[in-house]
Structure 1
Amino acid sequence: MAVADLTRKPTTEARPRPRKLSGPQKTAILFLCLGEKRGSSLLSRLDDQEIQEVTRAMSGLGSISSEAVEQVMSDFVEEITNGGGVVGSFSVAENMLRALLPGEQVDSILKDIRGPLKERDLWARFGALSENVIANYLKNEHEQTAAAILSNVKTDVAAKVLPLLGEEKMNQVVERMIRMEAVPQHMMAQIEESLQADVMNAGAQPTTNEQHQRMADLFNKLDRVAFDAMAPALTSSVPDSFEAIKAKMFTFEDLARLEPMDLAKVMRGMPGNTVPTALKGASQGTREAFLDSLPARSRDMLAEEMNSMGPVRRRDVSAAQALALDYARTLAEDEQIRLPMNDEEDDTVL
């Protein structure tokens, strides 16, 4: 049985398929439908190359809908429809191979399969690098190599990198990306080895921007008294870096820049007297922003509670503000609010 046999279109009209499946993927679906025992028996009729192709397809198959299965297995329509889809995974492929082949042969096949799965992580890490780092690397590469690399990263990354290559090289790379066919496996292996050696090892060191963000996160969690005490010295010794770090910091005062509805949502989630305690150590402008985001009755109650509290210890104020910031970040991570950030991309363009 040849793998290519399953690529033939059925004589009857098929339903629109959710995604285009290759011959090995269709064969893998067939084996999954038959189960381990029967699938293994059928797999034994293939040669080593075909076994490797099917195993590779099965290991990366993921979830397949019943509609897609119907298109591959038209004579199993009723059984597949009642049973739903099938799921292919590395472990399923491994179990099926071990029921059929000697252990050493299975290990050899799976070693080749595991490689590309790990390479996906390489491309994910490469795409996470700064676009300037990627562009500077591609400027020294042949246009065809650059096209192959940018075809393997996310489109939003490629869109940021291309203009940094210069107009002439960008046009040449884009043209090759448009015309590009499948890159031979040995060529992609060479490209990936070069990326690992030339870029990823060097890229393991944090960029200046990443280091500034790390320090900003650290300062956000640092006791305010300690931060204020060291600020003058840092302003004197590393003025440019310290200003860049402060621009990335998100402090309690920044909550005043939230949309009124978002700010009110943060306050509603605060326990006990957290909000009035936090506001006792805030600037007048921040207090007004908090009060203005509330309905009249709630605003009057908060103002009265603040006035009746009397003096509050600084450490209690810091703890309350830190709690409010943590809760705001949690809401932002859940996409319930949007935090104001000191980012040029957030500027308004007229």
Structure 2
Amino acid sequence: MAEAVVEKEKTPKYDVNKLEGVEKASILLLSLTEDDAAQILKFLEPKQVQALGSAMAAMDDMTQDKITAVHTHFIDEIQNYSTIGFKSQDFVRRALTSALGEDKAAHLLDQILTGSGAKGLESLKWMDSKQVATIIRNEHPQIQTIVMSYLEPEQSAEILAQFPEKVRLDLLMRVANLEEVQPAALQELNEIMEKQFAGQAGAQAAKMGGLKSAANIMNYLDTNIEGQLMDAIRETDEEMSQQIQDLMFVFDNLIDVDDRGIQAILRETQQESLMKAIKGADEELRNKITGNMSKRAAEMLLDDLEAMGPVRLSEVEAAQKEILSIARRLADAGEVMLGGGGGEEFV
């Protein structure tokens, strides 16, 4: 018996800290029944569901040690930080408000505490961008503007790309000039959306749109569309174009990301994409990136870069966009802090 105990103690435990948050969540969900996992997923945002779905589909090395480590970690977290059974609604309300702000938290709490599903405007977040563009294509530009401001910038950028160039310009400038939407107007828009695809969402006063919203949408546009749109805005309103440009997070802004953040981004980046991206970077940013790699990896990268022939500007810009998408995804997950233009910080 004593020998068995000794043998058990020698068995190495899996280090749960090696796993990213999305991997831990995926293992936990895969440990549940399909119905239980679905009950959890329905309360998450579309981007979170997509990230979890991808991670769950790619999960092919779920050893028992890893599963046990994740379960133990989850139980420890619950025991240390949960207020289950003691004013849990107050806890959720405060936590969500702190994390999301009053407007977003109020809407999400309404869904969680009343059991209402994603309907009205909220339903658009779960639709394909082309489908949303089709739904709002013939609506008044004011309605299109509110929808674009309401959705996540990445989805809004995909929707904007479906419109003709002149319409893109008009919509983005409307988004930049929008400040807030009154509750009655938001409720009316929800009712319009309900007529299109059934459902109704609770209306609430909300600040949306503005220069920052326009800049976020621009961040996710294809480089060619972004350039054309910025030129058109500059011709129409030079001051606005400069303000939007200042608020955009571009590749050069990576210089403001701390070393830990750069290292996290590099772990997710393919070598070929990195080579093309820094081909067009200035020396300071290039040094920042190589300085966060091992000496050998940095030397190999620089050697490969030197041996690399000329690269088309479009390929460089596409690689930079790819890395920026990784940076924003990690920022959304709270793993990286991105420094925006104008001295602002956002995650």
Instruction: Return the TM-score normalized by structure 2.
Output: 0.39
Q: Which has the higher contact order (CA 8 A, sep 6+)?
A: 2
Instruction: Return the TM-score normalized by structure 1.
Output: 0.39
* Bigger Cα Rg: 1
